[in-house]
Structure 1
Amino acid sequence: MPALASHRKPRTRVRTTTPAVGLTTAALASVTLLSTQSATAAPAAPRPSIEEVQKKVDALYRQAGTATQQYNKAKTASAEQRSKVDGLLEAAAKRADKLNETRRELGNYAAAQYRSGSIAPTATFFLADDPQSYFDQDQLMARMTSQQQQAVTDFRAQQKEAAAKRVEATKSLETLTESQATLRTSKQQVQTKLAEARTLLSELTAEEKARLAELERRKEAEARRKAEELARQQAAAKEKAEQAAKEQAAKEEASQEEPATGTGTGGTGSDSGYATKAGKVLAFAAAQIGKPYVWGATGPSSYDCSGLTQAAWREAGVDLPRTTWDQVEVGTRVATADLQPGDLVFFYDDISHVGIYKGDGMMIHAPKPGANVREESIYYMPIYGSVRPA
């Protein structure tokens, strides 16, 4: 028995020691691995500055504006193409009805010929498939009256017209499908850009949002300063023109001449007519202030930029195209220094935004998603050019 006891004692010590050694080795290995990973891990990407975020958000809104104009263009094209397709399908249906009517008339002629025994029974076979193929036979044509022969001629012409309309309708349907695909793509682009902008803004801290708001205030203040400078320049130019007109009138009076018409700032009939239209445009635009910007919207509860300008000028009896790209081609180009109330001012190199000039360097426009129709300096965005629509 003592021999057995001495044999068990060392084995007990071995069992208690081995796990302890294993745990210590694993712990050391873990510490070594973590230290190695920490030493070799790449540094975290630096957080973008508020200025960089502002530029990125502005760029995304601008890209969304461009995609909105693409959407508007595709939507207009799709609506026009749908109307054309409907017209072609209706025309094709009418021609088909007329063709069937003529076919029945020819069938009646053939049936009458058959009952009188003047044609062979096999004529019914040809007639069932295609009346024209049977009436092409010289012997039958010789027996037909001039009225019946005219019916065959009409049938042939109607066949060609119906076939041509079917081809035209098919091509128009293909074009419509392409327009609708472009419409879907543009819509997706707008939604993607706006989602990216919202994500960037949502990741800002409260302090960063405050700093971003301060940058916006500075930008707006600088834009207002430029607007005020333009207003002073325009006022000085107007005063100079009025003084010149007075001097000219005085000279004419001194020489006992009739005052010239259509000169000075009193305005020609054309200028007066434009001012009247512009008054209606600005009254409408002012009434929309506070309504939200919604891309693709044309009113009355919301607008995008070109939807607002289109609706405003419609009040003055002028039908503008739907997109900024088409609106910029309407009317007469004018320099920024020569802007008059009612003129359209376009922005960015891609002409993706437009506003209505109000005077004194200010405009009324639908700015961007998340903002309402408002009055703002035309210098808030880079100016592309301006037009006088009427």
Structure 2
Amino acid sequence: MRGLLPSRRGVLAAVTVVCAVTVLAAPGTAFAHAPATPAPAASSSPQGPAGSPTLRPTPPPNKDLEALRERLDKLYHDAAVATDAYNAAEEKARKQSAEIDELHRQIDEGRRKLDELKDRAGAAARAQYRTGGLPPEVRLVLSDDPEQFLNGTGLVLQGQRATKGMLAEMTRAQQDLRQYTDDASAQWRKLEANRKAKADAKKTIQKRIAAAEKLQSRLQKREMKRLAELEREAALKAQTAWLDTGILTKLKDRASEQGGKAVAFATAQLGKPYVWGAEGPDTYDCSGLTSQAWASADHPIPRTSQEQWKQLKHVDIKDMRPGDLIIYFHDASHVAMYVGDGTIIHAPRPGRTVTVAGAGSMPILGVVRPDTGKAGDGS
């Protein structure tokens, strides 16, 4: 990304510090298992008033906290899946609302056109009434003036064609109006179905997050501290295993021009809170961050991680470059932006902020590339 990201080295320096202190330590969603560490025995110091040791409660065994960590991961994962469903329903609802607005415009235009045609037909009927109700062709036949008869014949034929054309146009306008109305009704039904899907997804999200928060609220400070340590260990173990494959020596360090802009945007969001369904500018969920990052690079992409996986170009992990998106878990329920040096920027989960993490700290499904520009374009 040299020449594309003026703050590249500064960002990477910050990344190194963050990774060492907090990020790799707490990626938000880590599914790899850390080796169990034996629980410390009860302490016999300091001494009590009578010289006898004051025993401290023994922390719960690591296996219990590890099981809790896995349970929390499962709850947050389910919340992420529901968030994707919520975002998808929201995106569909926006499109359907826009389509309904356009149909209403067409309906109004169709009604105006039909009213105009009816006025023209009415004017023709009134003109015929004023001439005694006889059609023009009959009046011409009864005429005693041969020249008038011959000259008028052409006008009659023109009038007949105009009348037929007007009637045909009225028929088409009525058919179009019925079709627009039927389409609008169908879109309203879809919109209502998506609203229900969105409401159901919202309930699922809130239920899973509430369950996770309830589990964590039962922990004491030392247990929360140990749980955080287990998360760090799991993330570090997964990241180390990924790096041990030698992948870092194969990865590219230069982004395309648009990719550099997307990375710069994502970097500027570090520290902002995760909120499900959010697309910025103050809060984000995982796909809200990546979609807005690429929108800032004038390259819109799908809103959800699952659609990003379905619609964007797939690339091999070894060909990954900064700006590419890494899709995680078997159901494509999480997405992050690769920023180079084996790291990502992502919005992890509720209770966390946009942060830097190891690219291999979660199970990778695959990598997608939003743009087709060459690495280093514009440098």
| TM-score, normalization by structure 2 | 0.70
Deviations 1:129-174 (A, max 9, x none): xxxxxxxxxxxx9996443343222222222221222112211211
Cα drift, residue 361 of structure 1: 1.8
Percent of aligned positions with the same letter in both sequences? 35
Distance 1:116 1:169 in 2: 44
In structure 2, the partner of 1:173 is 188
Distance 1:287 1:61 in 2: 25
In structure 2, the partner of 1:311 is 292
| TM-score, normalization by structure 1 | 0.68
Q: Residue type of the partner of 1:148? A: T
Distance 2:67 2:247 in 1: 34
Cα drift, residue 331 of structure 1: 4.2
Distance 1:225 1:59 in 2: 23
CA shift in 2, pair 1:142/1:119, >3 Å: farther
CA shift in 2, pair 1:150/1:108, >3 Å: same
- In structure 2, which of residues 150, 153, 167 is the aligned counterpart of residue 152 of structure 1? 167
In structure 2, the partner of 1:283 is 264
In structure 2, the partner of 1:380 is 361
Q: Secondary structure of the equivalent of 1:358?
A: strand
Cα drift, residue 86 of structure 1: 1.0
Distance 1:279 1:229 in 2: 27
CA shift in 2, pair 1:206/1:313, >3 Å: same
Contact kept, 8 Å, 2:335 with 2:346, in 1: the verdict is yes
Instruction: State yes or no: 1:210 paired with 2:225.
Output: yes
In structure 1, the partner of 2:248 is 234
Distance 2:236 2:179 in 1: 63
CA shift in 2, pair 1:155/1:348, >3 Å: same
Q: Residue type of the partner of 1:348? A: F
Higher relative contact order (CA 8 A, sep 6+): 2
Distance 1:177 1:110 in 2: 45
Instruction: State yes or no: 1:348 paired with 2:348.
Output: no
Contact kept, 8 Å, 2:97 with 2:191, in 1: the verdict is yes
Deviations 1:33-90 (A, max 9, x none): xxxxxxxxxxxxxxx9222221111101000001011111111111101111111111
Q: Residue type of the partner of 2:130? A: R
Contact kept, 8 Å, 1:223 with 1:378, in 2: the verdict is no
- In structure 2, which of residues 199, 204, 212 is the aligned counterpart of residue 184 of structure 1? 199
Q: Secondary structure of the equivalent of 1:328?
A: helix
CA shift in 2, pair 1:355/1:87, >3 Å: same
Unaligned runs of 5+ in 2: 1-62, 136-155, 372-379
Distance 1:377 1:297 in 2: 23
Instruction: State yes or no: 1:325 paired with 2:306.
Output: yes
Higher helix share: 1
- In structure 1, which of residues 78, 102, 117 is the aligned counterpart of residue 93 of structure 2? 78
In structure 1, the partner of 2:129 is 114
Distance 2:194 2:227 in 1: 40
Cα drift, residue 332 of structure 1: 3.5
Q: Secondary structure of the equivalent of 2:368?
A: strand
CA shift in 2, pair 1:233/1:102, >3 Å: closer
Instruction: State yes or no: 1:52 paired with 2:72.
Output: no
Distance 1:220 1:159 in 2: 64
- In structure 2, which of residues 72, 76, 79 is the aligned counterpart of residue 64 of structure 1? 79
Q: Residue type of the partner of 1:340? A: R
Please give the residue correspondences for 1:354-369 in structure 2 after superposition, counting only pairs within 5 Å. 354-369=335-350
Unaligned runs of 5+ in 1: 1-47, 121-140, 239-264, 266-270
Q: Residue type of the partner of 1:335? A: D
CA shift in 2, pair 1:227/1:375, >3 Å: farther
Contact kept, 8 Å, 1:347 with 1:353, in 2: the verdict is yes
In structure 2, the partner of 1:250 is none
CA shift in 2, pair 1:226/1:279, >3 Å: farther
Distance 2:314 2:157 in 1: 70
Q: Residue type of the partner of 2:367? A: S
How many equivalent residue pairs? 289
> How large is the RMSD of aligned CA atoms in angstroms?
2.5
Cα drift, residue 347 of structure 1: 0.7
